[in-house]
Chain A
Amino acid sequence: EAGVAQSPRYKIIEKRQSVAFWCNPISGHATLYWYQQILGQGPKLLIQFQNNGVVDDSQLPKDRFSAERLKGVDSTLKIQPAKLEDSAVYLCASSLGRPWDGNQPQHFGDGTRLSIL
């Protein structure tokens, strides 16, 4: 079974520029998550999709971050404009997400490491 695919692996931009990250979840996984992991900390949830609908974006800085999952499979996360404090690893995860199954394991990609100059 192929894992969660993310690209690019690394990105370096200057502050106030824009950047986009791409995620392809495990086949058949209905739930997709974007996390931000700042160096030395645990992942923090930014946004959660169930199929192509947003179910939780309470911690997404909506003035600069946006995300979409138009066809219920791949997803993109965008930052515009970037700030210095956005330097972090952006992780994508997916799970089966069938509500009747209770809690399902989340499987992570290797992330995109973003550096803001």
Chain B
Amino acid sequence: GENVEQHPSTLSVQEGDSAVIKCTYSDSASNYFPWYKQELGKGPQLIIDIRSNVGEKKDQRIAVTLNKTAKHFSLHITETQPEDSAVYFCAASIRTGFQKLVFGTGTRLLVSP
């Protein structure tokens, strides 16, 4: 079945630095790749997503890149702020009639003032 690997498991940066989280997936038929931010005691919140017909997508300080050949995608956060501190999950969609998401293991991002 589909497997999604996510690295690093923890990431500490100084406020204003950039942060990069990387994921790889195994199913070449995967065609939708969302990223979620989860704060303590809350459910995952969708922050950005990308479809397989696009190589890059940007939304203010957040960007996602996709390399279908290598089967990996990355989340880039620029000018990090303390409120960016959270656990980030990548996911890959597999189509089995209806959309099904397989999640990575998460990255705990800590932004220090």
Contacts and interface: CB of A to CB of B under 8 A. Distances in A.
A42 B46 contact: no
B106 A109 contact: no
Contacts of A42: 4, 6, 89, 91, 103-106
Interface residues of B, number: 29
Interface string B85-103: 0000101010111111111
14 contacts: A31-B99, A42-B4, A43-B103, A45-B100, A55-B98, A56-B98, A103-B31, A103-B99, A105-B46, A106-B99, A106-B101, A107-B46, A110-B42, A110-B43
Interface string A34-56: 00000011111100101000011
Interface of B: 4, 6, 31-32, 34, 36, 41-46, 49, 51, 89, 91, 93, 95-106
Contacts of A56: 96, 98, 100
Interface string A68-108: 00000000000000000000000101010101001111111
A26 interface: no
Q: How large is the interface on A (under 10, 10 to 19, 20 to 34, 35 or more residues)?
A: 20 to 34
A97 B101 CA distance: 13
B104 A31 contact: no
